[in-house]
A and B are shown apart, each in its own frame.
Chain A
Amino acid sequence: MSAPTATTTLLAVDDLRVEFATDHGWSTVVAGTSFSVGEREIVGLVGESGSGKTVTGLSVLGLLPRGVGRVASGSVTLGDRDLLGLSERELRSVRGNEVAMVFQEPMTSLNPAFRVGDQIAEAVRLHRGVSRRAARDRAVEVLDLVGIPHARRRADEYPHEFSGGMRQRAMIAMAVSCEPRLLIADEPTTALDVTIQAQVLELLAGMQQELGMSVLLVTHDLGVVAEVCERVVVMYAGQVVEQTDAVELFDHPRHPYTEGLLAAMPQLGSRGQRLSSIPGRTPEPWGMPQGCRFAPRCGYAVDACGEPPPLVTARSGHLSRCHRHDELTLRGAR
């Protein structure tokens, strides 16, 4: 497959380290993550729970819970600005304006005490400085854009009057209301039913086309990645283990963990076969293996894996953090 197309980079995350307060002191939950998102590109950030993918997404906008999580080092660049170096005030003009977010739980991500339309208009007024009335019109307009019927009437309703799928549409409407350059969507479909999930993915892809924005899609679901992503970043135990374009990843994974994930993907396969899985479990931040973090669960592990592997270019545009990336032939998706 071709290397990632040489688009201009919009977001660059470089050697990001994030620490969280745990029972065991400050533990590193994201350990030197680097990746980028190009203009008008949809990038999937994939991993299981505990991989650090959500934390990475939150770090971009400085949304780590105060006193619980902190960025220890690294840089996050949007265009030519280092977001981590911005003052709180400057960062606020980026949030919701240049970079917007959609979260996993549509049921709890909207404020139950305020009308849906007002919550959207609030962001518009803040960043566009328009009149109350114009902001409201814009709110109705984006609600309509994301496919909420009777948008003008529904704008006056409270979140509890919306179904889960509608709330996620409203969240997307809020996110796109100021036409951001980058949308970070954190597991936007995980809490939704499969038919609603299909609607929301279709909507996200449509919005990306229409507004020409970039999307960083944080998910644990390779099916979601297969549906909409052009490029994929795979995280395991706080590190990027593989990064390449989507088709290449599914065809020729270069990291045993990715192979395991692909093999474990739910298939509409036949009954009676054993389902494959990755043995063991993700290590805790305070108990990381010394060498390769995946080695204890890896069937290909050799002595060399006692040393931490670097993230290297396995092929043009294909990065892998595996000592044996060039000698193994790993199975892709069926």
Chain B
Amino acid sequence: MLGLLVRRLAFTIPMLVVVSFCVFSLIVLVPGDPAVSLAGENPDPEQIAAVRERLGLNDPFLLQFWHWFTGVLRGDLGQSLFSSQSVAGAVFARLPATLSLALLSLTVALVLGVAVGVLAAMRPGTWVDRVATFAASLGVAVPYFWVGMILVLLFAINLTIFPAVGYTPLHENPLQWFLHLFLPATALGLAPAAVIARQTRAGMTGVLREDYVRTATAKGLPPARVVGKHALKNAAIPVVTAFGLEASRLIGGTVVIEQLFALPGLGSLAYTSVFARDFPMVQGVLLVVAALVLLINLLVDLSYGYFNPRIRQS
């Protein structure tokens, strides 16, 4: 297992460097002189020159990257163009809300998805299966932001059970934390739950036809043991793969959901920075998000080692 970890890290760390480079290069994509567009409305040449100086745009590109990257290694993501905030400070202030939202909705997705998928796979062709399959099709299709809006309408406006907007940190008031996150996490988690349910059902249906499942049944094991032990562990790999992809998509979805529910997270930071064209801030958010996705991929890869001894040992 340790060998696997080392091998995966040997892949992840260079990826981080390349990703950093891509994130930084984004500024090159800006058509024309970025300083002109960044210097605000109707800039005069002095303002532009000031921006150029501040951004270090007069240096060669690779040198600029080097300055930025060594800063990143020290934990310095640069300064916001428009406020006195440091990018790192702003990002880490926003991280807890986004992480809370993501973890809560991923939990919803995993628990609900696997449960529904296993249930459907155990009774193929029955009404349980049909209802589950239909619900999953619907869950994949219905836009998560629309679900968010409808949930706000039903539970926050009409029934006023949950707050419609805002956020309370976990350490201040766990109950309020949960209440504020419940609607957005549900909205964000339903579609991944549906995807995971479909993947679980498909994987389990395939595995349940395998010879070794027949062997387990022929040994006299009860169905719960056959499904829960022998089948599930083998069906897990496509499910965790789907989980990893969904986790990445879900982090993307936080941009919209945080906007709808006025949550002070990374997504809304990205949103405001994009509108303000606050490039250092955009770069910082992108880098942290990419690092999060790489971390999830790393965990998913390590879980392969648990589920498949061949991967662990090779």
A–B touch (CB < 8 A): the answer is yes
Q: Which residues of A contact B (CB under 8 A)?
A: 61, 63, 65-67, 88, 92-97, 100-101, 103, 105, 108-114, 122-123, 126-127, 158, 160, 171, 174
- With the chains together, A160 CA to B218 CA distance in Å? 21
Contact at B218–A100, with CB atoms within 8 Å? yes
Interface presence of B59 (CB below 8 A):
no
Partner of A93, one of B212, B220, B234: B220
Chain B residues in 8 Å Cβ range of A67: 124-125
Q: Indicate if the CB atoms of B214 and A103 lie closer than 8 Å.
A: yes
Q: Are B219 and A123 in contact (CB under 8 A)?
A: yes
Q: Is the CB of B220 within 8 A of A95?
A: yes
Which residues of chain B from 277 to 314 have a CB within 8 Å of any chain A CB? 307-310, 313
Q: How far is the CB of A10 from chain B (nearest CB, A)?
A: 18
B215 lies within 8 A of A103 (CB): yes
Contact B215 A109 (CB under 8 A): yes
- Residue of B whose beta carbon sits closest to that of A171: B215
A88 to B209 alpha-carbon distance, docked (Å): 19
Chain B residues near A97 (CB-CB < 8 A): 220
Chain B residues whose C-beta falls within 8 Å of the C-beta of A100 in the assembled complex: 218-219
CA of A101 to CA of B124 in the docked complex: distance in angstroms? 26
Residue B221 lies at the interface, judged by CB distance under 8 Å to chain A: yes
Extra 5 A-B pairs, beta carbons < 8 Å, given A112-B234, A123-B221, A158-B309? A100-B219, A113-B230, A113-B234, A122-B219, A127-B220
Q: Which residue of A has the minimal Cβ distance to B215? A: A109
Contacts of A103 in B (CB 8 A): 211, 214-215
A122 to B216 Cα, complex, angstroms: 9
Please measure, in the bound complex, the distance between the C-alpha atom of A161 and the C-alpha atom of B230, giving whole angstroms. Answer: 19
Knowing A96-B219, A113-B308, A113-B309 are in contact, say whether A105-B209 is a contact too (CB < 8 A): no
- Check A92 against B222 for contact (C-beta < 8 Å): yes
Could you tell me which B residues sit within 8 Å of A by CB distance? Answer: 124-125, 209-223, 230, 233-234, 307-310, 313
Task: With A112-B234, A113-B307, A160-B309 as known contacts, state yes or no: A94 contacts B214, CB within 8 Å.
Answer: no
- A174 to chain B minimum Cβ distance, whole angstroms, is 7
Q: Which residue on chain B has the smallest CB distance to residue A105?
A: B211
- Does the CB pair B218–A96 fall under 8 Å? yes
- Closest Cβ of chain B to A2, distance in Å, is 35
Instruction: Evaluate whether A111 and B220 lie within 8 angstroms (CB atoms) in the complex, with A103-B211, A160-B310 already known.
Output: no
Contacting pair A63 B310 (CB below 8 A): no
Residues of A within 8 Å of B219, CB to CB, are: 95-96, 100, 122-123, 126, 174
Closest to A158 in B: B309
Establish whether residues B212 and A109, one from each chain, have CB atoms under 8 Å apart when the complex forms: yes
Q: How far is the CA of A101 from the CA of B217 in the complex (A)?
A: 10
Tell me, rounded to whole Å, the shortest Cβ–Cβ distance linking B308 to chain A: 7
A158 touches B310 (CB 8 A): yes
Query: How many angstroms between the C-alpha atoms of A123 and B226 in the bound complex?
Result: 12
Residues of B within 8 A of A92 (CB): 220-222
Residues of A within 8 A of B124 (CB): 66-67
Give complex CA distance A265, B124 in Å.
42
CB distance from B32 to the nearest CB of A (A): 57
8 closest A-B pairs by CB: A95-B220, A96-B219, A96-B220, A111-B212, A108-B211, A123-B219, A109-B211, A158-B309
Residue of B nearest to A123 (CB): B219
Report the nearest A residue to B122, measured CB to CB: A66
A108, B212: Cα distance in complex, Å: 6
Contact: A126 with B215, CB < 8 Å? no
Q: With A and B bound together, what is the CA distance between A100 and B219 in angstroms?
A: 7
B234 to chain A: which residues have CB within 8 Å?
Answer: 111-113
- Report B140 CB to chain A, min CB distance, Å: 25
Q: Please, how many angstroms separate the alpha-carbon atoms of A115 and B91 in the complex?
A: 46
**A61 contacts B218, C-beta separation under 8 Å:** yes
Closest beta carbon of chain B to A54's beta carbon, Å:
11
Q: Which residue of B lies closest to A120 (CB)?
A: B219
Across the interface, do B215 and A111 meet the contact criterion of CB distance under 8 Å? yes
Q: How far is the CA of A141 from the CA of B220 in the complex (A)?
A: 21
A105 to B211, CA, bound (A): 8
Docked pose: A110 CA to B313 CA in angstroms:
18
- A95 CB contacts on chain B under 8 angstroms: 217-220
Q: Which B residues touch A112, using CB under 8 A?
A: 212, 234, 308-310
User: Nearest A residue to B233 by beta-carbon distance?
Assistant: A113
* B219, B223, B313: most-surrounded residue (chain A CB, <10 A): B219
Instruction: Give A65 to B309 CA distance when docked, in angstroms.
Output: 28
- Chain B residue nearest to A61 in the complex (CB): B218
Considering the chains assembled together, what is the distance between the CA atoms of A63 and B216 in angstroms?
A: 11
Q: Which of B125, B215, B233, B307 contacts A110 (CB 8 A)?
A: B215
